[in-house]
Chains A and B, each alone.
Chain A
């Protein structure tokens, strides 16, 4: 026995609610239209201004500039990482002298512009030519490329030291104590227990630092190094063609985006044991 005497006949699904036109939607369409317009203008400039002569003359120079940029950044990051080790450890040491010196280094190099540091090294130290010749270092400070590299190394070492210190200090005390309880020596505990955990924390800031370095490396173009930006400025000064800057923008964007995605992949891969 049931109280239901009659079943409701099947009915069609309710009509899909109309997407309302909101202010946000209009704004989004307007901004996207603006972006599309700019992209179109970009493509049109490239197509209308296409000149095979220029392409053949400056194309290889751009690639050479790209190589200079990449080699500067890679060497800068590697040497900077080496230099950052003693600074980071000095920063964590109990000795207040070492601590203060390392802190002063980091503070000074992080709060002055890279461009000013580069000028100080290239033009500033370069003005002490007789002294440098007597020490036998003139060959180094004569070349803008070496000076650019030196300023990158000094600059990135300060940033990397802070990244490393932050990462090492983020490893909980219990990890040190656990390693000590297992009878591991300080060195083994650091290498096998602390450092792997610290490097995972440091991975993302390191990626950011590399990207900042690639973007910062454009400053060497001001001291006559023909990196990607330098070749761009050279090509622009010869042709007064606005495209030169657009090509450089495409190159830089491609590098940075590729690196960003590579880093996202690396991070996902290296932290897969931490996922729940």
Chain B
């Protein structure tokens, strides 16, 4: 079964599949697939970029939701704790966050291992560091979006949930969350597009995503302009596809809204 799916995926690969862009138009050129050109390397980079963004999204959304909950709670200390988190990670450059987490995690793991008497250099996976750093950044921004969405939901909704005898958590899931998603969706769409662009920073810690792969191709082939142009084009395509897709999602989310 998994063989069938991998065959299906490679058949539908938009870059290097049988009907891929690079296979159709790139054969014999620098972006040919296989050993002749850089097409398959770049296609791999695209997969890594998409993978990084897609893995980061749910993690960042969940952390962001929890922080938004904390930031609107009645408990003062909880608001303070959430405020510190968002202030720090919205104030640091994404690149610096990435380096701090990449090297910081290594030092932390090494220190913990040294505690148990295990002395060895640890190198953590660049993909993992990328996911952690980007979800930290994404969550601190998405918490702000969700917080303002929370504030847009009137108190009466919670009170109505109470009046119906729903448990607080049921009210949250059945009544508040659906409205929250609808209100927060435009803001989250923006954040997704920003996240897609921020994945390019992971090239600085050696993750083989689009920009890294095109950089290698540019350095080896000495055709820098061509390859970086391809990189820009790929990011542009990803952004366009996702904004079209998210446009559908937004219309779907708004389907129950009153037409005015």
The residues of A with any CB-CB pair to B shorter than 8 Å are 22, 24-25, 27-29, 31-32, 35, 108, 111-117, 119-120, 123-128, 214-219, 221-222, 229, 232-233, 236, 242, 245-246, 248-249, 252-253, 256-257, 260
Contacts and interface: CB of A to CB of B under 8 A. Distances in A.
Interface centre among B70, B75, B96, B204 (most CB of A within 10 A): B96
B78 A24 contact: yes
B150 to A, nearest CB: 15
Given A25-B75, A35-B84, A127-B223, A116 B96 contact: no
B197 A242 contact: no
B235 A229 contact: no
21 contacts: A32-B77, A32-B80, A35-B81, A35-B85, A111-B236, A112-B197, A112-B235, A112-B236, A113-B200, A114-B197, A116-B231, A119-B211, A119-B215, A119-B224, A123-B225, A214-B93, A215-B94, A236-B103, A242-B104, A249-B100, A253-B92
Interface residues of B, number: 48
Contact of B92 (A32, A119, A252): A252
A77 B204 CA distance: 25
Interface residues of B: mostly helix, strand, loop or mixed?
Answer: helix
Given A28-B80, A112-B236, A116-B228, A123 B93 contact: no
Contacts of B240: 111
B251 interface: no
Given A111-B193, A113-B200, A115-B201, 20 more contacts: A24-B78, A25-B77, A27-B70, A29-B77, A35-B84, A108-B236, A111-B197, A116-B211, A116-B231, A117-B232, A119-B231, A125-B225, A215-B94, A221-B95, A229-B93, A229-B95, A229-B96, A245-B96, A252-B93, A252-B96
A236 B200 CA distance: 22
A111 B197 CA distance: 7
Nearest to A115: B200
Contacts of B215: 119
Given A111-B235, A113-B197, A22 B75 contact: yes
Majority SS at the chain A contact face: helix
A151 to B, nearest CB: 12
Contacts of B8: none
B91 interface: yes
A14 B232 CA distance: 69
Contacts of A117: 232
B128 interface: no
Contacts of A108: 232, 236
The list of the 10 closest CB pairs from A to B, nearest first, reads A111-B239, A124-B225, A28-B77, A28-B78, A113-B200, A218-B93, A256-B91, A31-B81, A215-B93, A113-B197
B88 interface: yes
B223 A218 contact: no
Contacts of A24: 73-75, 78
B158 interface: no
| Max chain A C-beta neighbours (<10 A), residue from B197, B198, B243 | B197
A116 B91 contact: no
A242 B103 contact: yes
A222 B211 CA distance: 12
Contacts of A253: 87-88, 91-92
A116 B94 contact: no
Interface string B200-239: 1101100000010001001000111100110110011001
A175 B87 CA distance: 38
A123 B228 contact: yes
Nearest to B84: A35
B44 interface: no
A126 B92 CA distance: 30
Contacts of A114: 197
A244 B125 CA distance: 22
A113 B91 contact: no
A117 B232 CA distance: 7
Nearest to B197: A113
